[in-house]
Amino acid sequence: MTAMGKKNKRIVVKVGTSSLIYPNGQVNLRTIDRLAFTLATLSHQGYEMLLVSSGAIGVGLASLGLSKRPQEIARQQALASIGQTELMRIYSQRFLDYQSKVAQLLLTRDVLEYPVSQQHILNTITTLLNDSIIPIINENDPVSVDELDHHTTFSDNDELSAQVATKINADLLIVLSDIDAFYDKDPHKYPDAKAIRHVTHMTPELTQAASGSSTQFGTGGMVTKLRAAATIINAHQRMVLCNGRDPKIIFQILEGQQVGTIFGE
């Protein structure tokens, strides 16, 4: 693989709850700090960086000292309201430590799909990027509910990140997960699972290999990442799925090192 950084200028990074929250429910400040350092450094180098961040409910649970995600939708939305504020406070603080500013965009499916509101969003993102400000995007969980025929939700932030990447014509989507790559079967269950390093098109076998989430704090899993990859491939763009334990792995990706799984040509 050739060095990706030479032709990639606009990059969307998606980070999942499993990368931001420890298994015990506490916020992983070390990962957040490294993420801020990495994205700020790349922004200073001239890259246009966007971050799609999960974690609002997880941070809300940690803020209230809770360990179990509630079943009630209203309570989940209340936790998201609490957690999103705290999450952005942490992000703002960490990015400022590296001389970078961030902005928050909370999206629902309808505003991203409706042409007029979509254009307003794209104009906002473009303006922020032109000012070297890093947009931090999340789903607007407190208002995202399926109400009659008015569908406002994304299935998860994997889908949201793919939708954002395609609509802003990003050069690359990097999905930071709790897994090193896409495997032919769940590596958490099968020690002999083999990593698939490059996927150019979707097959039934790949869908069969996809597995569910391995964390109680997130909503996504390998199935949703495969859906995001399909969106990217259909748009003739590229996505890399890799382990987000240390976000500095993004540097390796842009240097052209073999990291994770590449989706797309």
N- to C-terminal Cα separation, the chain: 11
Instruction: Confirm whether residue 212 is marked as ligand binding.
Output: no
Instruction: Confirm whether residue 177 is marked as ligand binding.
Output: yes
The H or E element that residue 137 is part of is strand 134-139
Query: Residues for the chain: how many in total?
Result: 265
Instruction: Confirm whether residue 157 is marked as ligand binding.
Output: yes
CA distances from 211 to 96, 131, 153, 208, 240 (A): 37, 40, 22, 8, 18
CA angle centred on 47, ends 45 and 51, rounded to 5°: 120
Instruction: Confirm whether residue 202 is marked as ligand binding.
Output: no
- For 22, the token pair is 């420890």
Instruction: Confirm whether residue 219 is marked as ligand binding.
Output: yes
Instruction: Confirm whether residue 141 is marked as ligand binding.
Output: yes
Instruction: Confirm whether residue 161 is marked as ligand binding.
Output: no
Instruction: Confirm whether residue 248 is marked as ligand binding.
Output: no
Q: Which of 73, 78, 147 is nearest to 109 (CA)?
A: 147
Q: Could you tell me if 14 and 265 are in contact, meaning their C-beta atoms sit under 8 angstroms apart?
A: no
Instruction: Confirm whether residue 54 is marked as ligand binding.
Output: yes
- For 51, the token pair is 């971050």
Instruction: Confirm whether residue 224 is marked as ligand binding.
Output: yes
b vs e for 168-184, b when ≥16 Cβ sit within 10 Å of the residue's Cβ?
Answer: bebbbbbbbbbbbbbbe
Q: Which of 132, 133, 180, 139 is nearest to 156 (CA)?
A: 139
Rounded to whole angstroms, the Cα distance separating 174 from 254 reads 10
Instruction: Confirm whether residue 14 is marked as ligand binding.
Output: yes
Point out the annotated binding site for ATP.
14, 177-178, 219-225
Point out the annotated binding site.
14, 54, 141, 157, 177-178, 219-225
Point out the annotated binding site for substrate.
54, 141, 157
